[in-house]
Amino acid sequence: MSLRNPVARTRIFLAAAFCSCAALLSGCGQDKTWDLDNITGIVSPLAFSLTDDAGRHVTAETYRGKIVMLYFGYTHCPDVCPTTLATLSQALSKLGAAADKVRILFVTVDPQRDTPPRLKRYAEAFGPEFIELRTDDPALRQLAKRYRVTYSLGKPDAHGNYEATHSSAVFIFDDKGKARLMAESSSSAAAIAHDVQQLIGGA
Amino acid sequence: MLLKGVSRKPLLWLAAALCMAFAGLGHAAGSPASVEHARIRWLPGDLPLAGYFDLTNTGPRPLTLTGASSTVFGDVMMHRTVHRGGETGMVPVHDMQVRPGQTLHFTPDGYHLMLMGRTRMLAKGDAVPIRLTFSGGRSMDVMFAVRGADMQ
C-alpha cells in the first residue's frame, strides 16, 4: 500500500539512486547541499494543460522562466492545505524581491466545488505568486499519475459536505521545468527558501 | 425535613459557584484549565476553517475534552490531520483526556477544530467565541482570534 504513494516511492527511488551513485558522489563536482528531497531525474518534467483561476487556458510553457512549486489540494481542506500554502508564503517572504521569480501552482483535486471564482478568491488570500488551477477527469487523473500523486474524494454527509485525501508533496521545478526538489507539509519555510534561493541562483 | 433542605442550599450554591468558576475559567487564578494561542485561520467565502489552541489542565484531576460548539458556526468538529505514507487526510477525534499539568496542542497539520457553516461574515482581526465542552457537562468559553490565511 505504501508503495502506491508518491513520497514512499520517491524515497525508495532516492535511496536506490543514492546507493548506486554513492561511489560517484565525490566526483560530481556539485557542492550545493539541499535541505529538501532532491528529485532531479526522478520526477517527470513540468507538463500540463489546465484552466487557471481567471478562466484562462495555461500550460507549463506559461510559467517557463519561473521556479514552479506544484501542489495538489482542495479549498475545502481546512488544515493541511492552507498550512502548506502558508509555509510556502512564508518562504516567499524570506526571498524578498526574488519571490517574483517563483509561482505556486495549486491544482485542485475537487474541481466540482472548486470553480474558477472560488479558486481566485482562495489564491488572493495567499498572495500574488499563488495561482489555482483546475481540470476535470480524466485529465486530472492523468496529471496526478504523471507526478505519482493519489487522491480520493470521500462520501458526502447529510449536508453534502465531503473531504478528500491527497498527496501532501510539493514538487519544485527549476526555471526550465525540470523537477528538482520535493517539500512536504512538515518542511520548514527556511528550508524551502534556502533551496529555492539556490535554484534561482542557477544551481 | 426543613433542616435538610436548608443544609443542602449552601452545597448547591457551592456547586453553582464551582460550575461558574469552571465555565469562565479562562486564565483566572485557581481554575482547572487555561487556554492560550486560540486562533482561527481565515479562508474566503464559506470554506471550512480550522481552529487551534493550547489547553493546559491546571487542576488536580484529569480533564476530558469531548467537543466544541459556537454560535458563529453551524458545525464544529474535532479533527486530526493524519499522514499515511505521503497521503494526507483527516480523521474525527472524540474524547481527549488531558492529565493534570499536561498541555493539549491543537496545531496546524495536527489536531484542529473544523469549523463549518459560518453564521456571519468573518474577517482577519475578528474574535470568535467557541465553547469547549468537557465530560461531566462542564464547559469553557474561549475567544479565538481570526488570523490571516498565511498564519503560521
pLDDT: which is higher, A30 or B50: B50
Structure confidence at residue A158 (pLDDT): 86
Neighboring chain B residues of A84 at a CB cutoff of 8 Å: 109
| pLDDT of A201 above 70 | yes
Q: Any residues with CB less than 8 A from the CB of B1 and at least 6 apart, and which?
A: none
Report how far residue A48's alpha carbon sits from residue A60's, in angstroms, rounded to the nearest whole number.
6
Residue A46 φ then ψ, to 5°: -70, 125
Least CB-CB distance to B85: which of A5, A78, A126? A5
| pLDDT of A22 above 90 | no
Structure confidence at residue B32 (pLDDT): 83
Residue A202 φ then ψ, to 5°: 95, 15
What is the β-pairing status of strands A179-183 and A102-108?
A: unpaired
Structure confidence at residue B26 (pLDDT): 47
A165 and B45 in contact by Cβ < 8 A? no
Grid cell digits, residue B106: 491543537
**Mean pLDDT across A155-175:** 93
pLDDT-derived band at A33, boundaries 50, 70, 90: very high
Residue type, A84: T
The chain-wide mean pLDDT, for chain A, equals 89
Residue type, A50: L
The total number of residues shown for chain A amounts to 203
Q: Which residues of chain B have pLDDT under 50?
A: 1-30
Report how far residue A87's alpha carbon sits from residue A189's, in angstroms, rounded to the nearest whole number.
5
Please provide the CATH number assigned to the domain covering B33-147: 2.60.40.1890
pLDDT-derived band at A2, boundaries 50, 70, 90: very low
Residue type, A201: G
Structure confidence at residue B85 (pLDDT): 80
Using the structure block, give the residue that is written with the C-alpha cell 470521500.
Answer: A154
Query: Does residue B41 sit at the A interface (CB-CB below 8 Å)?
Result: yes
Query: Does residue B150 sit at the A interface (CB-CB below 8 Å)?
Result: yes
Structure confidence at residue B28 (pLDDT): 37
Query: Does residue B89 sit at the A interface (CB-CB below 8 Å)?
Result: yes
- Whether ipTM > 0.95 holds is no
Instruction: List chain B domain ranges.
Output: 33-147
Q: Any residues with CB less than 8 A from the CB of B119 and at least 6 apart, and which?
A: B71, B72, B73, B74
B79 and A90 in contact by Cβ < 8 A? no
Using the structure block, give the residue that is written with the C-alpha cell 468538529.
Answer: B77
Report how far residue A57's alpha carbon sits from residue A51's, in angstroms, rounded to the nearest whole number.
5
Q: Residue B67's Cα: distance from chain center in Å?
A: 7
Burial of A1 by CB count in 10 Å (0-12 exposed, 13-18 middle, 19+ buried)?
exposed
Partner A, chain B 97-126, Cβ-Cβ below 8 Å: 108-110, 112, 114-117
Grid cell digits, residue A169: 508533496
Report how far residue B77's alpha carbon sits from residue B49's, in angstroms, rounded to the nearest whole number.
11
pLDDT: which is higher, B9 or A105: A105
CB pairs under 8 A between A and B: 103
HSE value, Cβ hemisphere, 13 Å, CA-based, for B14: 5
Write the CA distances from A86 to A64, A108, A152, A187, B147, integer angstroms: 24, 17, 23, 12, 12
Report how far residue A21's alpha carbon sits from residue A85's, in angstroms, rounded to the nearest whole number.
34
Neighboring chain A residues of B108 at a CB cutoff of 8 Å: 79, 83, 86
Other C-beta atoms within 10 Å of A29: how many?
5
Least CB-CB distance to A167: which of B49, B81, B87? B87
Number of H helices, E strands in chain B: 1, 10
Dihedral sign computed on CA atoms, order A134, A138, A143, A149:
positive
B87 and A166 in contact by Cβ < 8 A? yes
| pLDDT of A23 above 80 | no
Write the CA distances from B110 to A3, A80, B80, B94, integer angstroms: 24, 8, 5, 14
Q: For the CA atoms of chain B, what is the radius of gyration?
A: 18
Report how far residue B73's alpha carbon sits from residue B75's, in angstroms, rounded to the nearest whole number.
5
The greatest distance separating any two alpha carbons of chain A, rounded to the nearest whole angstrom, comes to 61
